[in-house]
Structure 1
């Protein structure tokens, strides 16, 4: 059971981190920061660039924390 939870934590954490990377860069098929900014503006959020950076950074950090098992309730 512990191994299954470890693999699940890695998979979900790395997926979340990868999604955050896509919001702010061209890696993993992302549209870069300009694309992330436009996505948030289209969805009605103000401050698109700051919002994209905050969302991408928090997803990247939370995903890596979850994958590493650090502060998992917070992540």
Structure 2
């Protein structure tokens, strides 16, 4: 079971960290704080740069900590919150399927985060 939790944590955590890096640093095809901030303001979330930074930091830092198995419960709650905001501000109106910019992907992240919250990180952690 611990090896399964390690795989789940690594995949979830590193993908989340990469999404955060897109927002913070503009890498992996992202737009950085400035570009993400402009987009957030275009959908009514202001100040955009501030929330781009917070979201990017939550995804990047939370993702790395989940991958490491550190503060798993706190990070899981943080990620669940970020994904709920994404669902209700962007994706809900598009329906379930990710291909139509729906909330499928976000819902999967929430489900995995709830699972990690309930089970904990397992024994293979950095600390």
- Normalization by structure 2: what TM-score? 0.56
Residues in 2 aligned to 1:26 and 1:52: alpha-carbon distance in whole angstroms: 11
Find the counterpart in structure 2 of residue 29 from structure 1: 29
Asked if residue 19 in structure 1 is aligned to residue 19 in structure 2, the reply is yes
The structure number with the bigger radius of gyration is 2
Residues in 2 aligned to 1:67 and 1:49: alpha-carbon distance in whole angstroms: 26
Find the counterpart in structure 2 of residue 72 from structure 1: 72
Residues in 2 aligned to 1:35 and 1:16: alpha-carbon distance in whole angstroms: 19
1:53 positional shift:
0.7
Find the counterpart in structure 2 of residue 55 from structure 1: 55
Gap regions ≥5 residues in structure 1: none
1:28 positional shift:
0.9
Gap regions ≥5 residues in structure 2: 76-127
Residues in 2 aligned to 1:5 and 1:71: alpha-carbon distance in whole angstroms: 15
1:26 positional shift:
2.1
Give per-residue Cα distances to partners, 1:5-38, cap 9 Å, x unaligned: 1011100001111111101222111112221111
Find the counterpart in structure 1 of residue 45 from structure 2: 45
Count of residue pairs the alignment pairs up? 75
Pairwise CA RMSD: 1.0
Residues in 1 aligned to 2:2 and 2:34: alpha-carbon distance in whole angstroms: 41
